Structure 1
Amino acid sequence: MSTINHDHHVYVLMGVSGSGKSAVASEVAHQLNAAFLDGDFLHPRSNIVKMASGEPLNDDDRTPWLRALNDAAFAMQRTNKVSLIVCSALKKRYRDLLREGNDNLSFIYLKGDYDLIESRLKSRKGHFFKPQMLVTQFETLEEPHADERDVLVVDINQPLDGVVASTIDLINKK
């Protein structure tokens, strides 16, 4: 069993759409001079085509994508002190797949309730809010429990600067 190297750690920012994963990761990466990867960039072409046609992905579609993210996490933690990956990781089995062979990986769960996230999505400029998408995200979400000891939780019911500061504090305590 390998030991955790706290100097080379990957943090997956997880949560439902609208929880602020990309905004938080981008700012945290900037402040910590950390590597940053938007997990959506690793979707295979077939997933992109499927999503573009309005068809939702299923678990079979997500598996090769999650394996690609697992490989990216492995590569990133070998070369960067701190790395951040944005991935909703809504189900425990998705998180388990990301964990495989990556002892230096933790999750930062950007946690907020439905009403808070709905209000943020509705206020986004130039963004067409689809209420059913958020309903589906919350239905799919398997919130991490105490047995997932590698999950850190940040309450997003605060301004972005506060969420960023809370996230950095968690990373610095790790």
Structure 2
Amino acid sequence: MANTKIFVLMGVSGCGKSAVATQLAQKLNAAFLDGDFLHPRANIEKMASGQPLNDDDRAPWLGSLNDAAFAMQRANPVSLIVCSALKKSYRDRLRVGNPNLAFLFLQGDYEVIEQRLIARQGHFQKSGMLKSQFAALEVPGADETDVITIDIDQPLDAVIEQAHQAILAQE
């Protein structure tokens, strides 16, 4: 397992986590998991009713993601997990027992992400959601040495290539 690696693609909604992870998984022949699929039913129902999740709601979900990361590294040389991981405490929870885990932080400023959401959806009405994502984001500091920051203010292909090179450099 020493040469296996799990990369969590993190960042606010709309930063391109799923698009980047999908392409990276193909390039690297890597396992890929969208972390949203592991939310318990209660969380899905709460979000569907328009209520935001709190840290207590996220605790079992982060536990499931931690377990999934552990299992994935046992079966795959490279695994990718999409998870916003906005708070340091969330990232710390994912790290527990997973020493081969690192983060790819898809970082972009509010205006860049807002414009992408507008372009992607044709119109953008959920500005409150984006604002709350940025309000919750705890930007990884220098103490989080397992976080690789990727600037998303460039074409998607360039973001994917930068992420690809970052992964190759970790192997």
Which bracket does the TM-score occupy, shorter chain normalised? over 0.9
The residue aligned with 1:148 is 144
Q: Could you say what secondary structure the match of 1:37 adopts?
A: strand
Aligned to 1:53: 49
Give the letter aligned to residue 125 of structure 2: F
Counterpart of 2:24?
A: 28
Q: Which runs of 5+ in 1 are unaligned?
A: none
1:76 aligned partner, one-letter code:
M
Aligned length: 170
In the alignment, the residues of structure 2 paired with residue 129 and residue 93 of structure 1 have an alpha-carbon distance, to the nearest angstrom, of: 30
1:53 positional shift? 0.5
The ranges of structure 1 where at least 4 consecutive aligned residues each deviate by more than 6 angstroms after the TM superposition are none
Aligned residue for 1:172, secondary structure, equals helix
Between the aligned partners of 1:146 and 1:33, the Cα distance in structure 2 is: 31
Distance 1:71 1:127, change over 3 A: farther
Q: 1:129, CA displacement in angstroms?
A: 3.5
User: Does the CA contact (< 8 Å) of 1:17 and 1:137 recur in 2?
Assistant: yes
1:24-45 CA distance string (max 9 Å, x none): 0000001110000000000000
Taking the TM superposition and a 5 Å limit, the aligned residue runs for 1:114-129 are: 114-125=110-121, 128-129=124-125
- Secondary structure, counterpart of 2:121 in structure 1: coil
Work out whether residues 121 and 129 of structure 1, in 8 Å CA contact, stay in contact via their aligned partners in 2: no
SS at match of 1:124: helix
In 2, the alpha carbon distance for the partners of 1:155 and 1:169 equals 14
Change (3 A) 1:117 1:68: same
**Counterpart pick for 2:64 among 56, 61, 68:** 68
Cα distance in 1 between the residues matched to 2:34 and 2:14: 14
In the alignment, what sits opposite 1:82? 78
Instruction: Report the identity percentage.
Output: 65
| Structure 1 residues 121-147: Cα deviation after superposition (integer angstroms, max 9, x where no partner) | 111136753001111000000000010
**Partners of 1:32 and 1:129 in 2: CA distance:** 35
1:28-85 Cα distance to aligned partner (Å, 9 max, x none): 0011100000000000000000000001000000000000000000000011000000
SS state at 1:108 partner? strand
Residue 39 (1) aligns with residue 35 (2):
yes
Distance 1:127 1:68, change over 3 A: farther
Which residue of structure 2 lines up, in the alignment, with residue 98 of structure 1?
A: 94
TM-score (norm 1): 0.95
Counterpart residue identity of residue 146, structure 1: A
The CA RMSD measured in Å over matched residues stands at 1.1
